[in-house]
Structure 1
Amino acid sequence: MMNFETRTGPDFGADAPSYPGNGVPEWYRDAKLGFFVHWGLYSVPAWAVQHGAGVNIPTEDAYAWHQYAEWYGNTVRIAGSPTWRRHQELYGPGTSYEDLADRWDAAAFDADAFVGELVDAGARYIVPTTKHHEGFCLWDTATTGFNAAARGPRRDLIAEFHDAARRAGARFGVYFSGALDWHVSDFPPIESDTDLFRFRRHDEAFSRYAAAQLDELIERFSPDVLWNDIEWPDGGKGRDEYAVAALLERYFGAVPDGVVNDRWGVPYHGFLTREYTHIPDILEQPWESTRGLGYSFGFNQAEDERQSLSGVELIRMLVDIVSKNGNLLINVGPAADGSIPELQRAAMRELGSWLRENGDAVYGTRPWIRFGEETGAPVRYTRSAAGVHVHALDPAAGEIALPPELSGGTARWADSSVADTATEPGGAVVVRIPDALRAAPVAVVTVS
């Protein structure tokens, strides 16, 4: 997956705009875990080709066989693609992707219950998609009739998410597709990474359109996180009031402790984003790992447990990311009716249960002098005022060796009981993992 902080847009020379000086606030660095919610028209067909182990897709077919169900609006336009063939069979050749807006029934969606599931799973911030690349807006916008309040659900879904998140005490963010909007564009389908940046509008009218939508979201919801995707139209990167620099000034004026990501295509970055990417070591700059529980963000009904993270895998991923100075923005992809599929719910609930016991070793922590150890029984480190938290990724191994820097400290488990330790002939201190914790996804001992 590509990184976006190296893409900084047109060179304006001496006429380049200036950007706000806001960095990444401490609340965001403390939060560690957020939930993305990809929900849109793509949730009606809810389908993409299965990916994963044993599936070999040639590079030249990557977009025709896209792993993301939320890209259905693009893959369905690639003649002969699996999505194109399935759409013809299921809906008939006379039904366009946008026609699915009137088939979207979200009657089962209960925002408080939905957000409650995310908070119970440990979410400290929640970021629903307000408009994905298809251009369908999930809030009651004055900019277009192609929205959830006017068609399909006939509800302001973002307002419901926002109100429920605030009631639950979670931070609220918005995802917005800044430069891609297939509803108001007339380009061929995207079939390569080159097309991703070639087939998009950069004109003033579209730049104003995107800015008006983002201004609405800021004014109505004061989002704590402004998560833009795949850049901004080049026509909106100068000194104009509808350009990124001015938008960010208005945003931080309205939300002084807000935060933005790095996907604007300008020199200003908030936190870095890494999508479906393993990071091998600590990054100095705050960053965020994002991915779906499966291989897609939008719900893909073709996926099963072979394509989806288990609770154990999800917990170990979170610990690895936090040890390297990152946050995890894990995605839940609801079904069209607004329900969370059981496969995703099971992993979320296991994560929440583990965090209720071990959250002090995750929330509010910072990286230690190194992220962990890969030799022997693998461990990850985080630190807080309580000490250094040693996360055993394989508790079934029965013991963990403390690094020399911690060998003189007192080790305690999450229940405050003192750990059973032994000093080996070479001087290494080994912590014996209690039987009750050996079946845990991760066992945490804190050394102070």
Structure 2
Amino acid sequence: MKRRHLLSAAGLLPLLMAEKPLQAAEQLARQPATEPMAAGPFNPDWKSLEQYAVPDWYGDAKFGIWAHWGPQCQAEAGDWYARGMYEEGGRQYNYHLKKYGHPSKVGFKEVIHDWKAEKWDPDALVALYKRAGAQYFVALANHHDNFDNYDSAYQPWNSTRIGPRKDLIGGWAKAARHHGLRFGVSVHASHAWTWMETAQRADRKGPLKGVPYDGNLRAAQGKGTWWEGLDPQDLYAQNHPLSKQSDDNNALHGQWDWGDGASLPDAAYHRKFYNRTVDLINKYDPDLIYFDDTALPLWPASTVGLKVAAHYYNKSLAKNGKVEVVINGKILNEQQRKCLVWDIERGQSDKIEPQVWQTCTCIGDWHYNRSVYEDHRYKSAQTVVHTLADVVSKNGNLLLSVPVRGDGSIDSDEVAVVEGIAKWMALNSESIFATRPWKIFGEGPAQENAAPLSKQGFNEGKGKPFGPADIRFTTKGEVLYAIVLGWPEDGKVLVRSLAANNPLRPQPIQAVSLCGGAPLKFTRSERGLEVTLPREKPETHYAFALKIV
């Protein structure tokens, strides 16, 4: 980015906001500039993006942790709060009435104002995640709520000016790099246009029937309020006709790819999203961008996402001599899987994929939900490790979200889960990191009952649970790892895929050991490789890796 351009946007805005906030916000809204695209061989079209190759660091990493944290976590009421609080009669609407007040008087902007992140210690959290084996860390840059968690040159509603008044992405990036982790950001804001349409509603019954919620407020209406000088439309983006069937809370899901009657964003919205995202890339230089979109943001309604991808790849190529960055996208066709890294949300593939891919999931709700903690409903370390082994055996990575409270801390149950993962990694990490798939990904009854994917994923937990008969394979050089997903009662493991007459492994087996442990007794027959385990189980006996050479 040119220095002159930085001064015209990022540098000028804070000075103006300090003196004349209303005029500054209006001036920003009228900002005509477009962030320049980095020059290089990547052009903003799918054919050109096919040149992309996944960098080695990502193929080796296998495990990342994600802080899916923003102002919606302040309410501690779970996913999609900024939308759900405007859905009359719903759980989050009723919660909002009790905690904050009626959404015609106290809207999502007030939730942001209430958010202070006073206990946030990014260095301590990232240190914990590194101990758990995370090789990369991802932070939420913005969500569908349209709020930027960084020093944004193009979105006045950002965390340096409202709520925490801190550069959250800057703080996460510093911590990740201090601990030697690759740093990524997740970007979800392209959908605010339709996602926030609930804020245009009003109650249909009750004492405030017909009184509009705050989704259509304008800057001029803020005089004398805490948000004077800001335009709510920069946040809510609701100065547009509603989508078809907007009153149906579920219709949005069928319109995620901007079809089926979705209201289509205008050119100004496209330009602002592009500028915000390129500004994010240029300021923080992330190693990974996760887009919560079908393929790329605003595709196929716009080429904005293609332009961002081309800029990102060309920028990395110019800096490193090769492309060292990753873009995650969802619901990709075969061509698009050559251009981006396919992400499966809360689910897994049922086969070894030819390209590196990723599962993203969470130990609880994506946005912090206090009831999950109070009811002790987080995923266990065992569930996370089983998922990790399954994903890695199929050429995938696991990106695991650990929900963060509004105050910036994580709760005691979450700490216990992460520490449990750390204990397993201390013994078995060599079977995960820098490995590649074997000839088959595994064996056992669970694979025979795998649930199919639904749209972007969502087959997690729908198949048969893993047990001691389920084994997942990884390789590293001449070493084969068999990750057994449970401790057999008789203390013996039978690996059927390594039978003496099986062409998958014709060469002799010289030795078998537990990762980090002493050699084990084994026999190889036409039934399989039978391994006798030690009498004493490790603490993390729910999964263990056999090292086979």
The offset of 1:244, in angstroms, is 2.8
When residues 430 and 235 of structure 1 are mapped into structure 2, their CA distance, relative to the original with a 3 A threshold, is closer
1:340 to 394, 410, 431: 410
The offset of 1:386, in angstroms, is 4.7
When residues 378 and 129 of structure 1 are mapped into structure 2, their CA distance, relative to the original with a 3 A threshold, is same
Unaligned runs of 5+ in 1: 1-14, 49-68
Is the 1:39–1:129 contact (alpha carbons within 8 Å) kept by the matching residues of 2? yes
- SS in structure 2 at match of 1:106: coil
Is the 2:145–2:236 contact (alpha carbons within 8 Å) kept by the matching residues of 1? no
Cα separation, 2, equivalents of 1:171 and 1:42: 26
2:367 to 298, 315, 321: 298
The residue aligned with 2:183 is 172
**1:191-230 maps to which residues of 2 (within 5 A)?**
191-192=250-251, 193-196=253-256, 197=258, 198-199=261-262, 201-230=264-293
The offset of 1:191, in angstroms, is 2.6
The offset of 1:35, in angstroms, is 1.0
The offset of 1:77, in angstroms, is 1.4
* Deviation readout 1:156-179 (Å, 9 max, x if unpaired): 010000111111100001101152
What letter matches 2:254 in structure 1?
T
2:96 to 87, 93, 96: 87
When residues 438 and 379 of structure 1 are mapped into structure 2, their CA distance, relative to the original with a 3 A threshold, is farther
What letter matches 1:108 in structure 2?
K
More deviation in 100-109 or 18-27?
18-27
1:232 to 281, 288, 297: 297
Is the 1:204–1:236 contact (alpha carbons within 8 Å) kept by the matching residues of 2? no
Cα separation, 1, equivalents of 2:288 and 2:263: 25
Is the 1:395–1:438 contact (alpha carbons within 8 Å) kept by the matching residues of 2? no
* Deviation readout 1:38-72 (Å, 9 max, x if unpaired): 11111111114xxxxxxxxxxxxxxxxxxxx2x11
> Relative contact order, CA 8 A, sep 6+: which one is greater?
1
- TM-score w.r.t. the length of structure 2 is 0.70
Cα separation, 1, equivalents of 2:264 and 2:189: 11
**1:325-404 maps to which residues of 2 (within 5 A)?**
325-375=395-445, 377-397=469-489, 398-402=491-495, 403-404=498-499
Cα separation, 2, equivalents of 1:278 and 1:232: 23
Is the 1:148–1:156 contact (alpha carbons within 8 Å) kept by the matching residues of 2? yes
Is the 1:35–1:331 contact (alpha carbons within 8 Å) kept by the matching residues of 2? yes
The residue aligned with 1:19 is 48
> Which has more radius of gyration?
2
The offset of 1:249, in angstroms, is 2.2
The residue aligned with 2:63 is 33
When residues 154 and 39 of structure 1 are mapped into structure 2, their CA distance, relative to the original with a 3 A threshold, is same
- TM-score w.r.t. the length of structure 1 is 0.85
Is the 1:140–1:156 contact (alpha carbons within 8 Å) kept by the matching residues of 2? yes
CA RMSD of aligned residues (A): 2.3
The residue aligned with 1:51 is none
**1:410-425 maps to which residues of 2 (within 5 A)?**
410-423=511-524
Aligned residues between the structures: 407
Residue 444 (str. 1) matches residue 545 (str. 2): yes
The offset of 1:92, in angstroms, is 1.2
* Deviation readout 1:237-287 (Å, 9 max, x if unpaired): 34xxxx333322221122221011224989644111111124322222211
Is the 1:19–1:245 contact (alpha carbons within 8 Å) kept by the matching residues of 2? no
What letter matches 1:214 in structure 2?
T
**Alignment identity in percent?**
24
The offset of 1:235, in angstroms, is 8.0
More deviation in 268-277 or 215-224?
268-277
Residue 252 (str. 1) matches residue 313 (str. 2): yes
The residue aligned with 2:41 is none
1:274 to 322, 326, 344: 344
Cα separation, 2, equivalents of 1:18 and 1:211: 21
**1:74-223 maps to which residues of 2 (within 5 A)?**
74-93=83-102, 94-181=105-192, 182=196, 183-186=235-238, 187=242, 188=246, 190-192=249-251, 193-196=253-256, 197=258, 198-199=261-262, 201-223=264-286
* Deviation readout 1:74-117 (Å, 9 max, x if unpaired): 11111111111111122111211221111112111111111111
The residue aligned with 1:62 is none
